[in-house]
Amino acid sequence: QVQLVQSGAEVKKPGASVKVSCKASGYTFTDYYMHWVRQAPGQGLEWMGWVNPNSGGTNYAQKFQGRVTMTRDTSISTAFMELSRLRSDDTAVYYCASLGATIFDYWGQGTLVTVSS
Amino acid sequence: QSALTQPASVSGSPGQSITISCTGTSSDVGGYNYVYWYRHHPGKAPKLMIYEVSNRPSGVSNRFSGSKSGNTASLTISGLQAEDEADYYCSSYTTYNTWVFGGGTKLTVL
Protein backbone atom coordinates (compact mmCIF):
# COMPACT_ATOMS: atom_id res chain seq x y z
CA GLN A 1 0.00 0.00 0.00
CA VAL A 2 1.08 3.59 -0.57
CA GLN A 3 2.88 5.13 2.37
CA LEU A 4 4.62 8.45 2.95
CA VAL A 5 6.72 8.32 6.10
CA GLN A 6 8.19 11.56 7.40
CA SER A 7 11.12 12.26 9.67
CA GLY A 8 10.62 13.06 13.33
CA ALA A 9 9.88 16.23 15.21
CA GLU A 10 12.46 19.01 15.27
CA VAL A 11 13.20 21.90 17.60
CA LYS A 12 15.15 24.76 16.08
CA LYS A 13 16.30 28.21 17.12
CA PRO A 14 15.27 31.32 15.20
CA GLY A 15 17.51 31.88 12.21
CA ALA A 16 18.39 28.19 11.83
CA SER A 17 17.33 25.83 9.06
CA VAL A 18 15.33 22.61 9.15
CA LYS A 19 15.25 19.74 6.66
CA VAL A 20 12.31 17.33 6.70
CA SER A 21 12.31 14.08 4.77
CA CYS A 22 9.46 12.06 3.28
CA LYS A 23 10.08 8.47 2.21
CA ALA A 24 7.61 7.06 -0.31
CA SER A 25 6.73 3.41 -0.80
CA GLY A 26 4.07 1.34 -2.52
CA TYR A 27 4.15 3.21 -5.83
CA THR A 28 6.58 4.49 -8.45
CA PHE A 29 8.11 7.55 -6.77
CA THR A 30 8.79 9.38 -10.01
CA ASP A 31 5.19 9.13 -11.25
CA TYR A 32 3.66 11.82 -9.00
CA TYR A 33 4.71 15.27 -7.84
CA MET A 34 5.42 15.64 -4.13
CA HIS A 35 3.88 18.64 -2.41
CA TRP A 36 4.57 20.18 0.97
CA VAL A 37 1.79 21.65 3.08
CA ARG A 38 1.97 23.10 6.56
CA GLN A 39 -0.43 23.92 9.37
CA ALA A 40 0.55 26.38 12.07
CA PRO A 41 -1.18 26.17 15.46
CA GLY A 42 -4.77 27.36 15.14
CA GLN A 43 -4.32 28.10 11.44
CA GLY A 44 -5.40 26.45 8.23
CA LEU A 45 -3.57 24.34 5.69
CA GLU A 46 -1.01 26.26 3.66
CA TRP A 47 0.47 24.99 0.41
CA MET A 48 4.23 25.54 0.21
CA GLY A 49 5.32 24.05 -3.10
CA TRP A 50 6.02 20.93 -5.11
CA VAL A 51 8.97 18.99 -6.45
CA ASN A 52 8.79 16.86 -9.57
CA PRO A 53 10.55 13.65 -8.52
CA ASN A 54 11.24 12.78 -12.15
CA SER A 55 13.04 15.97 -13.21
CA GLY A 56 13.81 17.63 -9.89
CA GLY A 57 11.92 20.71 -11.04
CA THR A 58 10.21 22.78 -8.37
CA ASN A 59 7.58 25.45 -7.92
CA TYR A 60 7.14 27.31 -4.66
CA ALA A 61 4.43 29.50 -3.21
CA GLN A 62 5.50 33.11 -3.49
CA LYS A 63 5.51 33.46 0.29
CA PHE A 64 8.32 30.92 0.66
CA GLN A 65 10.46 31.74 -2.34
CA GLY A 66 14.04 32.37 -1.31
CA ARG A 67 13.62 30.47 1.94
CA VAL A 68 12.49 27.00 0.90
CA THR A 69 14.26 24.33 -1.10
CA MET A 70 12.56 21.11 -2.17
CA THR A 71 14.68 18.26 -3.46
CA ARG A 72 14.46 14.53 -3.99
CA ASP A 73 16.67 11.47 -4.07
CA THR A 74 15.19 8.94 -6.45
CA SER A 75 17.62 6.21 -5.32
CA ILE A 76 15.85 6.09 -1.96
CA SER A 77 12.39 7.34 -3.06
CA THR A 78 12.63 10.25 -0.67
CA ALA A 79 11.65 13.90 -0.95
CA PHE A 80 13.10 16.66 1.20
CA MET A 81 11.93 20.11 2.25
CA GLU A 82 14.43 22.54 3.73
CA LEU A 83 13.26 25.83 5.23
CA SER A 84 15.87 28.39 6.19
CA ARG A 85 15.99 31.54 8.32
CA LEU A 86 13.37 30.09 10.61
CA ARG A 87 11.09 32.39 12.59
CA SER A 88 8.73 31.65 15.43
CA ASP A 89 5.77 31.77 13.06
CA ASP A 90 7.26 28.84 11.14
CA THR A 91 6.26 26.63 14.06
CA ALA A 92 3.88 24.20 12.39
CA VAL A 93 3.15 20.65 11.38
CA TYR A 94 4.66 20.05 7.96
CA TYR A 95 3.13 17.44 5.65
CA CYS A 96 4.37 15.91 2.46
CA ALA A 97 1.56 14.90 0.14
CA SER A 98 1.03 13.47 -3.28
CA LEU A 99 -2.06 15.44 -4.19
CA GLY A 100 -3.89 16.92 -7.11
CA ALA A 101 -3.64 13.84 -9.28
CA THR A 102 -7.31 12.84 -9.28
CA ILE A 103 -7.73 10.09 -6.70
CA PHE A 104 -4.02 9.50 -6.10
CA ASP A 105 -3.98 11.50 -2.90
CA TYR A 106 -1.76 10.44 -0.04
CA TRP A 107 -0.30 12.33 2.88
CA GLY A 108 2.53 11.77 5.30
CA GLN A 109 1.89 11.63 9.03
CA GLY A 110 3.21 15.15 9.55
CA THR A 111 6.35 16.50 11.19
CA LEU A 112 6.15 19.05 13.99
CA VAL A 113 8.75 21.77 13.67
CA THR A 114 9.03 24.03 16.70
CA VAL A 115 11.00 27.26 16.43
CA SER A 116 11.91 28.64 19.81
CA SER A 117 14.79 30.40 21.43
CA GLN B 1 -1.58 34.07 -4.19
CA SER B 2 -4.32 34.63 -1.62
CA ALA B 3 -6.07 31.79 0.16
CA LEU B 4 -9.48 30.77 -1.13
CA THR B 5 -12.34 32.17 0.96
CA GLN B 6 -14.38 29.79 3.10
CA PRO B 7 -16.74 30.54 5.98
CA ALA B 8 -14.96 30.11 9.27
CA SER B 9 -17.71 27.92 10.67
CA VAL B 10 -20.97 26.22 9.79
CA SER B 11 -23.29 24.13 11.90
CA GLY B 12 -26.27 21.88 11.51
CA SER B 13 -28.34 19.32 13.35
CA PRO B 14 -28.17 15.59 12.66
CA GLY B 15 -30.06 14.73 9.50
CA GLN B 16 -29.88 18.23 8.07
CA SER B 17 -27.86 19.36 5.05
CA ILE B 18 -25.14 21.99 5.04
CA THR B 19 -23.13 23.64 2.30
CA ILE B 20 -19.62 25.04 2.55
CA SER B 21 -18.60 27.58 -0.06
CA CYS B 22 -15.11 28.18 -1.43
CA THR B 23 -14.58 31.37 -3.40
CA GLY B 24 -11.56 32.09 -5.53
CA THR B 25 -10.86 33.85 -8.78
CA SER B 26 -10.75 33.11 -12.47
CA SER B 27 -7.07 32.23 -11.97
CA ASP B 28 -7.90 29.29 -9.75
CA VAL B 29 -11.38 27.96 -8.91
CA GLY B 30 -13.06 29.61 -11.87
CA GLY B 31 -10.41 28.66 -14.38
CA TYR B 32 -9.98 24.95 -13.76
CA ASN B 33 -11.99 21.93 -12.71
CA TYR B 34 -9.27 21.01 -10.25
CA VAL B 35 -11.06 21.75 -7.00
CA TYR B 36 -10.53 19.30 -4.16
CA TRP B 37 -12.18 19.03 -0.74
CA TYR B 38 -10.57 17.57 2.38
CA ARG B 39 -11.78 16.63 5.81
CA HIS B 40 -9.20 17.26 8.51
CA HIS B 41 -9.01 16.31 12.12
CA PRO B 42 -6.10 18.20 13.73
CA GLY B 43 -3.12 15.98 14.27
CA LYS B 44 -4.16 13.60 11.52
CA ALA B 45 -3.54 13.60 7.79
CA PRO B 46 -6.28 15.29 5.74
CA LYS B 47 -8.67 12.94 3.95
CA LEU B 48 -9.78 13.51 0.37
CA MET B 49 -13.57 13.78 0.14
CA ILE B 50 -14.14 15.24 -3.33
CA TYR B 51 -11.79 15.55 -6.30
CA GLU B 52 -12.06 17.55 -9.51
CA VAL B 53 -15.07 19.54 -8.31
CA SER B 54 -17.65 16.80 -8.00
CA ASN B 55 -16.10 13.35 -7.97
CA ARG B 56 -16.19 11.14 -4.91
CA PRO B 57 -13.38 8.66 -4.15
CA SER B 58 -14.51 5.14 -3.43
CA GLY B 59 -15.26 4.70 0.23
CA VAL B 60 -16.55 8.25 0.70
CA SER B 61 -20.23 8.40 1.57
CA ASN B 62 -22.62 9.57 -1.14
CA ARG B 63 -23.85 12.11 1.42
CA PHE B 64 -20.91 14.23 0.24
CA SER B 65 -21.25 16.10 -3.04
CA GLY B 66 -19.41 18.93 -4.78
CA SER B 67 -20.25 21.53 -7.38
CA LYS B 68 -18.95 24.73 -8.90
CA SER B 69 -20.43 27.88 -10.35
CA GLY B 70 -18.12 30.56 -11.68
CA ASN B 71 -15.41 31.31 -9.13
CA THR B 72 -17.19 29.54 -6.27
CA ALA B 73 -17.09 25.84 -5.45
CA SER B 74 -19.32 24.20 -2.89
CA LEU B 75 -19.30 21.11 -0.71
CA THR B 76 -22.67 19.80 0.43
CA ILE B 77 -23.09 17.26 3.18
CA SER B 78 -26.55 15.78 3.47
CA GLY B 79 -27.97 13.74 6.32
CA LEU B 80 -25.50 15.21 8.79
CA GLN B 81 -24.00 12.77 11.25
CA ALA B 82 -21.99 13.40 14.39
CA GLU B 83 -18.94 11.82 12.74
CA ASP B 84 -18.96 14.57 10.10
CA GLU B 85 -17.77 17.10 12.66
CA ALA B 86 -14.33 18.23 11.52
CA ASP B 87 -12.49 20.98 9.66
CA TYR B 88 -13.06 21.09 5.90
CA TYR B 89 -10.71 22.61 3.36
CA CYS B 90 -11.02 23.28 -0.33
CA SER B 91 -8.00 23.49 -2.60
CA SER B 92 -7.52 24.49 -6.21
CA TYR B 93 -4.93 24.39 -8.92
CA THR B 94 -3.91 27.85 -10.12
CA THR B 95 -2.76 29.46 -13.32
CA TYR B 96 0.73 29.77 -11.84
CA ASN B 97 1.06 25.96 -11.74
CA THR B 98 0.70 26.16 -7.97
CA TRP B 99 -2.02 25.12 -5.55
CA VAL B 100 -3.91 27.10 -2.97
CA PHE B 101 -6.04 26.07 0.00
CA GLY B 102 -9.03 27.74 1.52
CA GLY B 103 -8.86 29.07 5.04
CA GLY B 104 -10.86 26.11 6.35
CA THR B 105 -14.35 25.70 7.76
CA LYS B 106 -15.14 24.19 11.14
CA LEU B 107 -18.26 22.06 10.92
CA THR B 108 -20.17 21.59 14.15
CA VAL B 109 -22.95 19.03 14.40
CA LEU B 110 -25.34 20.33 17.02
B31-51 tens-digit pLDDT: 999 999 999 998 899 999 999
If you measure CA to CA, which chain A residue comes closest to B5?
A44
List the 35-54 stretch of B: residues with Cβ below 8 A of A.
Answer: 36, 38, 40, 42-43, 45-46, 48, 51-52
* Contact in structure between A113 and A12 (CB atoms under 8 Å): yes
- Å between B16 CA and nearest CA of chain A: 26
Residue B59: band (very low, low, confident or very high) from pLDDT cuts 50, 70, 90: very high
Pairing relationship of beta strands A58-60 and A45-51 according to DSSP bridges:
antiparallel
Residue B102, classed as helix, strand or coil, is strand
Each residue of B83-96: pLDDT tens digit?
A: 999 999 999 999 99
Residues 6+ apart with CB under 8 A from A28: none
Residue B78 exposed, middle or buried by CB count within 10 Å (0-12, 13-18, 19+): middle
Q: How much of chain A exceeds pLDDT 90, in percent?
A: 96
Q: Do A47 and B98 touch (CB under 8 A)?
A: yes
Average pLDDT score, chain A: 96
Residues in a beta bridge with A107? A97
Residues 6+ apart with CB under 8 A from B42: A39, B87
Q: Do A47 and B101 touch (CB under 8 A)?
A: yes
Q: Is the pLDDT of residue A81 over 80?
A: yes
pLDDT given at position B2: 86
Q: Is the pLDDT of residue A1 over 90?
A: yes
pLDDT given at position B42: 84
Alpha-carbon torsion A101, A38, B54, B60, what sign? positive
